[in-house]
Structure formats: C-alpha cells, structure tokens
Amino acid sequence: MCGIVGYIGTQQAAPLLLEGLGRLEHRGYDSAGMAVLGTGGALRVAKRSGRVRDLAEEVPARFGGKVGIGHTRWATHGPATDHNAHPHTDGAGRVAVVHNGILDNASSLRAMLTDDGVELTSDTDTEVLAHLVARSGAETLEGRVADALSAVEGTYGLAVVHADFPDRIVVARNGSPLIVGVGDKEMHVASDLAALVRYTTTVAYLDDGEMATVTAQGFTTYRHDTAQLHRTHRDAARVDVDPAAYEIGEHESFMHAEMLEQPRAAERVLRGRLDERFGTSHLGGLNLDARELRAIRRVKILGCGSAYYVGQMGASMIEELARIPADAEAASEFRYRDPVIEPDTLYVAVSQSGETIDTLLAVQEIRRKGGRVVGLVNVVGSAIARECDGGIYLHAGPEVAVASTKALTTMFLAFSLLALQLGRVRDLSIADGKRLIAGLQQLPEQIQSVLDRDDELAEVAKRLAVSDSLFFIGRVRGFPVAREGAQKFKEITYRHAEAYQTSELKHGPLALISEDVPTVALVPDDELVERNVAALHEIAARRGPLVVVTHEGVDLGDLSAAPGMHRIDVPRNEREIDPILLTIPLQVLAYHAAKHLGLDADKPRNLAKSVTVE
C-alpha cells in the first residue's frame, strides 16, 4: 500500500524521486523519504512524517546524486513519525532500504538483532532488512539482499542501495508489485506505473520470488532460493498508456475527474464486445469456448471493498440471466476457511489494481487446488492478470483517487457482459439478449445525465454531511448498491454509514432512526417497489430524514411532504442494469459531502489505493 520509486542514470535523482513520490501518494501518505548516493558513494537520507510536499521542504538545497530510492508510506508497524518513515538504514549509514509489505517474523528478527547489540531506531519491520543486508558476508549486493531475504517471512516489494555498490539498485518482489522502467542511459524503479509514465512506458514487471539488479545501462533478473541466485529471462515491453491520463488537469481532484469520466469509460469497456446480431457479448480474453461456458455450474466472485460489493451486483445479474448459482465473497476471508474448489465452478477475481494482496492470494489458492479462475482487472500486466487463466480488462484508464468510481462502473459492465454471454449459451433468448444490449448502449448517456445534476446533488450532500451517522438501505438488486454507497460515504467523509437490507429495518436498526439519522434509500421501479415504499413510511413515521434514489414515475405517496425528504430520480434502464445508475448519485453525494467538510476526497485518512498487505 506504500509507494516506491528509484532512479539511476545521468540526471540528479532527488527531483525525479520527489516527482515520482508525488504521483504515488494515493498509495500512502503518512510519511515520505528518500536516500541518494552522492559523489564517492556517500549515502544521504531525508525523510519526515506528512505529505510529499512536507518532505520537499525538508530536502537540503545540496542533495546531489544520480542514484536514489524513495518511499511514501502507509503505516503498518509503528505510527507515522519521522523515525518510522522510509528509507531505513543500517547503523553505519551504508545501506538504505525502502519496503512495501509486511514481514511476518519481524519480531523475532528484531529480537535477534537486539541480542547481538544492534540498536534499532524505529518501530518498523523494514529496519531489520537494512541490518540483515549490512551483516551479510556476500561479495555482491545481489548476494547480500538474497541472504537477507532468505531470513525473512512475509510479503515485500523492496529497493536497496549500498554505499559500497554505487552503480546499482537491487530490487525484489514477493506479493507486492515492482516495475522496472527502461530509459535512455537511465533506469527507473516503481511500485506503480504512475511514477514512470512521464519518463518511460517501456517496463518489465517482476514476478513473486524475483530480484533485479538495475544499473544505468539496463537490468538483470534473478530468482533466489535459499540465498542462491538463478538468472531469469525477462524482457521489457511497451505499455499502451497516455501519460496525460495520470494528470489532474483542470479538475479540483482526481475523484472529481474520475467521476466525470465514467460515460467515456463505459463506452471503452463495451466497445467491440457487443454482438447485436446474436444478442450476446464477445469476451475472447476469457479463453473459454461455448462448450466450456455451458459446462459451468456455479460462479464464485472474489473481491475486497468496492470490488466485493460490485461482485454482489454481478452475482445477482448472473443468476438472473444465466440461471446458475452465483455469489460473491470477501477475498480476504476466502482462503482462510479452506474452501472446497469445484471443477465446474468459474471463479472470478475482481481488482482495479490487479495487485490486491487478499485477492491475489485467493487466486493462488484456487489455482493450487486446480480451479479455473478469471480476472476482472484494470491494469494490464498486473499480478492477478498474470496469475489468472483468462479475464476481462476494464479499460477504465488510470484511477488515482482512493475511492473507486469509474473502475467500479466498468466492473459492473464487465459483469454485465459476462452474465450476458453465460446466459446466451444457456436459455436466455435472443430477444432478451438484444434487450440488454440496447440497455447497455444507453448507459453512457444516462450516466452523463446523472452527473449533469451535480448542483442539485451537492445541496443534498450538504444536508447529509452534518449528520454523524447515516443508513443506506436497499433490497435484492438494491442492497449491494446500498453497501457501496455506505462505503463511499464513510471512507471519504469519516461519517458512520451503515448499509442494511430494507426488509431488515424492523428487525433491529429501526431503533436508531431519529431526526438526527438520515436514511438514503434505493427504490428502483421493480417488483419490490410497494414494499420498499412501505418501509420508507416506517422511517418517516419516526421523523427520520429521507433521501430516496428512485425512478421517475414511482409513486411515493404522501412521503413527498415528509420533513427532511428529498427525491433523486435516475434514468430508467433494464432492471438488471439499473443498479449501476442507482450507484452514480451515491458517488456524487459522498464526494460533495467530503468537499463540504473540507476533506481531501483523493486521500482519505488511514486508507490507500492499492491494498498490498494482509
């Protein structure tokens, strides 16, 4: 969840490291730091708690050197303080290490080092790596890093510089992403493509268990097995990405820009994948033919956070259209219950970054037991994409804000395409297939019509922002929407927001309804509309303020005159597709509530974009 950058070449490293760290703040922003090897191999370190801009103010005017590594932190071991910020060094100031991940045996290693007389200066697990590298007797830096890694257990993406080896950076990966970027007589290292795109789009992704030596002339990769190094062959490849996509442009925040981009992102994920003639979808990346698709008897969807909630939406759609059992489960819990992996089940891993460690580990568990797993990911070449048997790329474009908007929308549409294809190889009629395709083709324009009501939604958001606690409610198709709405609100406004099935209110939560607890209710025009409206009357009778997200024409009776009532109509699509249109206004409400409270929607406290630690 932290960010790593590195540079070696002909330019001064410090400005490049600072710029790269600024682009990685979505991965961690508790503290930041960098280490530079200057003339003669002198190692200089600058680090401090706070944002990258605070670090920039701390860096001395003379901080020269053409080799360096940097880090922006999301705290795991130890609070966000100056001494816990990365890079971490050995006692002699010869080795500097930046590290993402968690070392599971850090406590025992710290105790061992302390018993040997080493004075540790931080609370982190990472500091032990610097001392282990320094204590190795290997002749090369690669050997010393391999020695250190042979002693640790856990996950890591790391970069190491050493004053005795000023011509190189050594990097390694196990469970936390690392990318090597190839330039002209210079090389870059990063944990995320965002830090590299201004300088190069020719990159190599390291696999788990792989190391690389990076010099100004190129890179060499290895696998390490009990400190032994074995050369591997890895070529760099050009990635198709527009550097401008990582710029905020004229927008006030990345989240705002990414919300507004949703109509275009929806067009991209659908482009070339709809077959109007046969009322189905084309998903060649699944690597499954019609016979194999028809043999699937169950679908299990795995994701975390918003990916889990959109997975619930997808599961509901697959059951409706394909008439096979489907459900979603939190990937973080999946492998710990020793799941039964069925040969006729299709497992679907969902992750924007493609690096979410809980989801990646679930994929590996499925593959270890012989299951078939496909991925819904946004980042080409990511770990989950490489581990899966096939998949659907989301084509959302880079998503920088921690709270997912356009990626979530494209995930929903990817599930729509999957459900359509599964349905059409079974009993879904061509007429229903064409009906759904027509609905999907309308979506970009309908999403835009919701976003065009920004001013109205901003006013509603101000009313919600002043409440310390809120409910989000929905039924069946609407319940995952309510869960996602509550997630958005809590993560960027820091207000307590809880999602419940509307039908469950009377079984407990109704006790909390009062004038101070608003309810955001999802009321689509479906077979449950009358029951949903009846539940809203129960809330209004207890003077609970209501924000009702519904369809034009839905009769809410005398609720329109209830105190604190506001109605938000969204465009009507096919019932199976309606959940995503109900989700869009909830994103906008959360964003404007955070803005009204003076909070940074892009960087909510205690959270980071890519969760690469368990």
Residues identified as active-site? 2, 609
Contacts of 53 (CB under 8 A, 6+ apart): 22
**CA dist., res. 566 & res. 557, Å (int):** 13
286, two tokens: 């699944």
Question: Who contacts 357 (Cβ-Cβ below 8 Å, separation ≥6)?
Answer: 155, 175, 176, 611, 612, 613, 614
Q: Measured between alpha carbons, how far is residue 380 from residues 172, 173, 399 in Å?
A: 20, 18, 13
Q: DSSP letter at 103? A: B
* Chain-centroid distance, C-alpha 355: 8
Residue 343 DSSP label: T
User: Rounded to an integer, what distance in angstroms lies between the CA atom of residue 583 and that of residue 411?
Assistant: 13
Number of other CB atoms surrounding residue 106 within 10 Å: 20
What is the C-alpha to C-alpha distance for residues 136 and 577, in angstroms, rounded to an integer? Answer: 59
- Return d(Cα 577, Cα 317) in angstroms, integer: 8
SS3 474: strand
Nearest CA among 248, 268, 267 for reference residue 258: 248
Of 563, 522, 558, nearest to 542 by C-alpha is 563
- Asked if 136 and 144 touch (Cβ cutoff 8 Å), the reply is yes
Q: SS3 for 525?
A: coil
Q: What's the token pair of residue 303?
A: 């994701």
3-state secondary structure of 279: coil
Task: Collapse the DSSP code of 346 into the 3-class scheme (helix H, G, I; strand E, B; otherwise coil) and give the result.
Answer: strand
Residue 470: helix, strand or coil by DSSP? strand
Whether the CB-CB separation of 257 and 251 falls below 8 Å is answered with yes
The rounded distance, in Å, linking the Cα atoms of 61 and 598 is: 33
592: left (phi over 0), alpha (psi -120 to 50) or beta: alpha
SS3 159: strand
Residue 93: both structure tokens together? 């100031």
